[in-house]
Chains A and B, each alone.
Chain A
Amino acid sequence: MPPSTPPNQSERREFLKKACCVALGGALGAVPVASGVAFYLDPLLRAGGDSKGVKVRVTTLDALPNDGTPHRFPILASRTDAWTKTPESAIGSVYMMRTADPQKPVKAFSVICPHAGCFVDYVPTLPNYEPAQAGFLCPCHNSTFKITGEIAGTGSPSPRGLDELACTIENGNEVWLQFQNFQAGTSERVPLGS
């Protein structure tokens, strides 16, 4: 048979057929796509965890130098990573130092730069900063912080100073810390869920 000319059917009927095709096609595609997208968005449906962080015992008072030099400590805590539960592993780090204040003998800073989330270094001399002093330097975009955690100098790209973490002294000389992470890039401190 030769190729036919479009069959002579009412336009209405043709339109209905085409509309059915489009609707069916949409429905057929929607099932895998919609369920897949919902599945992919699973992290948004999960509770963000405890934004107050976890309380951990970090060290003892005598492990901190008396002159106030910051010391870096790993934070060991149990951790759930998707399906894996790790009983005790490093979940982050903090800088800790002694202070002259007898009410609050230890101060702690998160090592995470509030600018873009890199790991800040302790440096005995802050570069290009007068008067010469020790402080924290971020190796990524050169954010600088004084030993007190405040932003050092107008050139520091960080929107806020280093995030201080609450410490307590318990049982005489144990240093305990409320460990948590904060959102980077904001001038306000916004806690992140664990």
Chain B
Amino acid sequence: MIKPLLDWLDHRTGYRKITHEALYENVPGGSRWRYVWGSTLTFALVIQIITGVFLWMAYSPSSQTGWESVYYIQDQMFLGWFVRGLHHFTAQAMIVLLVLHLMQVLIDGAYKAPRELNFFTGLILLLLVLGLSLTGYLLPWDQKGYWATRVVTNLAGIVPIVGDSLRRVVVGGNDFGHQTLTRFFALHAGVLPGGILALIVGHIYLFRRHGITPAEPRMKPDAAFWPDQVLKDAVACLAVLAAVLFLVLYNHGAELGAPADASVPFPAARPEWYFLSIYQFLKYFPGKTEIIGALIIPGMIFGFLFLMPFVGKWKLGHRFNVGFCCSLLVGAVFLSYLAKNEDHHNEHYQLAVEQSDTDAARVRVLAMSPTGIPPAGAVSLLADDPYTQGPRLFAQNCASCHRFGGTDALGSKLDESKELASDLKGFASREWLGGLLNPATVDSPHYFGATKFKDGPMVKFVHEDVKGFTPDQAAKLQKVLAAISAEASLPAQKAADTRDAAIIAEGRQLIKTEITCEDCHQFHEPNPDATAPDLTGYGSTEWLTAFLNDPGHPRFYGPDNDKMPAFGKQKRLNDHDIEMLAKWLRGDWYVPEAKP
């Protein structure tokens, strides 16, 4: 039944002859493990094509949807993280396999006549695969890929004469945007794989034409490719797949950073590990000599690789080639080590990586929030998130005088002795106000200690009146604190404020009666004698926003304001940033509901 059908097929296609030729290729000296690298590379490429096509079905190349669709693949679609992880780590494996394949070809002398053309196609394939890595790195449109790829396209810009035009054509305009992604994607999914497939056909054809270059001495008699060598190849492919699967599962797929944002610095930007050596190399070429390190030397090295078949004609030449490539490899490993080592000792970089991880995790929390990703894309999620923006704004604008839990809010410890104004961690909370009204701490550097209010009426009040409070008065003061703190409606104190509603109501009365806050402060009713900040809505978003806008306003410190700048009035910060800062100081940001 089947045989006549196959005969029919063979008569029309001649598949039996082709299969026979493919399978019964002679392997001089029998099958060997050292011949597996070409097959593992082909296997890796097949994985890339399969996973790549599936990812293609969910990826959307534009600056408003690139990151978003990758996030959707990664966190929402079934097994998306796995397919993407497979694609990502197989790409890394391909680089390793390419080096192994090249070294094996080199050591066995398989690049020499008459196999020069095969060697050349191999070198071009190597370049095309590196091109795939480079273009693929940008596609998720996250901070890392964005900033790292900008470096590469800027390097294209230093090519003499045509540089700027070349850069603009590659980028699709003057700056990175939609056109950059559509172009990179077309290269990544169309042009480069097409070129690779065409060259691989040629590469394998030439390989079959000249046969395997046997590694001497031959241990065994010749054998056919099938099944011995095929089995070894398959086992090697399995090992590659196992390594890739380990990496995918261990890392839960590939990394996805925060969405690309041209306005947010990204000091953690580094190229992929296999480009680290050239990245490090560039550091040694100052100023206008960059072109030497970026183009001329790498170009010469690559040019020499093309000359190797001719140099290798002489026995010494072959040894030189092997030695050259080995030292190149050692040099690359050493440079990569230097790059890693430098980063390892760079505290600034470590903080940046930590920050980038925090941002990446946070933006995904926000993307999964009920508000989700707006039509304009995910880039606004972090920009409008007090949790993300607050610490940055604080470190930049406030940390020259204030502290936040002893740090600049970004994790850098600050010199305790240089503290000039209060530590704002927990501002307006009961604990924070408790410290302010504590004779032991009110004039510490944590509060007014380093400001001109050190000898002001508030400190005096705490030192003279509060210090002498009877236990009954002290208990009343606690109620007043609860009342003032409740003005802020801090999200973290919501439960306590609701629970203590009666105490708070009592405290409100006490402010006006026994605890004489109203001597200096205004509280809900107009108080023309007030000289100190208004306690109405103290610590609320509205109060903080107005305060940051102009602390010297009569509602706050008036002419008594110390060094605090009027951030809004003086246009040092815009309304959006002031709002971010105010909300962040209050601990007012999106928190996902705990899963039951």
Q: Are B373 and A83 in contact (CB under 8 A)?
A: yes
Tell me how many residue pairs across A and B have CB atoms closer than 8 Å: 110
Q: Please choose the segment from A23-31, A69-77, A107-115, A140-148 that sits at the chain B interface, where 4 or more of its residues have CB less than 8 A away.
A: A23-31
Q: A21-B227, A36-B51, A39-B79 are in contact. Are A28 and B237 (CB under 8 A)?
A: yes
B54 CB to closest chain A CB, in angstroms? Answer: 4
A3 CB to closest chain B CB, in angstroms? Answer: 5
Contacts of A1 in B (CB 8 A): 28-29, 218, 221-222
Q: Are B235 and A24 in contact (CB under 8 A)?
A: yes
Interface readout for B68-99 with A: 1 if CB under 8 Å, 0 if not?
11011000111110110010000000000000
In the complex, the chain A residue whose C-beta lies closest to that of B372 is: A85
Q: At the interface, is chain B mostly helix, strand, loop or mixed?
A: helix
Report the separation of the CA atoms of residues A132 and B144 in the bound assembly, to the nearest whole angstrom: 68
B47 at the interface (CB under 8 A from A): yes
In the complex, the chain B residue whose C-beta lies closest to that of A23 is: B234
Q: Are A2 and B373 in contact (CB under 8 A)?
A: no
Q: Are B227 and A18 in contact (CB under 8 A)?
A: yes
B223 at the interface (CB under 8 A from A): yes
Q: Are B241 and A28 in contact (CB under 8 A)?
A: yes
Within 8 A of A (CB), among B362-381: 367, 371-375, 378
Q: Are B228 and A17 in contact (CB under 8 A)?
A: yes
Report the separation of the CA atoms of residues A86 and B376 in the bound assembly, to the nearest whole angstrom: 10
B113 at the interface (CB under 8 A from A): no
Contacts of A17 in B (CB 8 A): 227-228, 231
In the complex, the chain A residue whose C-beta lies closest to that of B374 is: A85
Contacts of B227 in A (CB 8 A): 14, 17-18, 20-21
Q: Are A32 and B47 in contact (CB under 8 A)?
A: yes
Report the separation of the CA atoms of residues A14 and B228 in the bound assembly, to the nearest whole angstrom: 9
Report the separation of the CA atoms of residues A25 and B238 in the bound assembly, to the nearest whole angstrom: 9
Interface readout for A129-169 with B: 1 if CB under 8 Å, 0 if not?
00000000000000000000000000000000000000000
A171 at the interface (CB under 8 A from B): no
Report the separation of the CA atoms of residues A33 and B82 in the bound assembly, to the nearest whole angstrom: 12
Contacts of B223 in A (CB 8 A): 4, 7
A10 at the interface (CB under 8 A from B): no
In the complex, the chain B residue whose C-beta lies closest to that of A86 is: B375
Contacts of B29 in A (CB 8 A): 1
Q: Are A20 and B77 in contact (CB under 8 A)?
A: no
Can you report 23 A-B residue pairs in the complex whose CB atoms are below 8 A from each other?
A3-B26, A4-B26, A4-B221, A4-B222, A17-B227, A21-B227, A24-B235, A31-B86, A32-B50, A32-B51, A35-B51, A35-B86, A36-B54, A36-B83, A37-B54, A38-B78, A39-B80, A39-B83, A83-B68, A83-B367, A83-B372, A84-B373, A85-B373
A interface vs B, CB < 8 Å?
A: 1-4, 6-7, 14, 17-18, 20-21, 24-25, 27-29, 31-33, 35-42, 45, 80, 82-87
- Interface contacts beyond A39-B58, A82-B69, A86-B375: sample of 20 additional A-B pairs, CB < 8 Å, sorted by A: A1-B28, A1-B218, A1-B222, A4-B223, A20-B231, A24-B231, A24-B235, A25-B234, A28-B237, A28-B238, A28-B241, A32-B46, A32-B50, A35-B86, A39-B78, A39-B79, A40-B54, A42-B79, A83-B71, A87-B374
B interface vs A, CB < 8 Å?
A: 26, 28-29, 43, 46-47, 50-51, 53-54, 57-58, 65, 68-69, 71-72, 76-80, 82-83, 86, 218, 221-224, 226-228, 230-231, 234-235, 237-238, 241, 245, 367, 371-375, 378
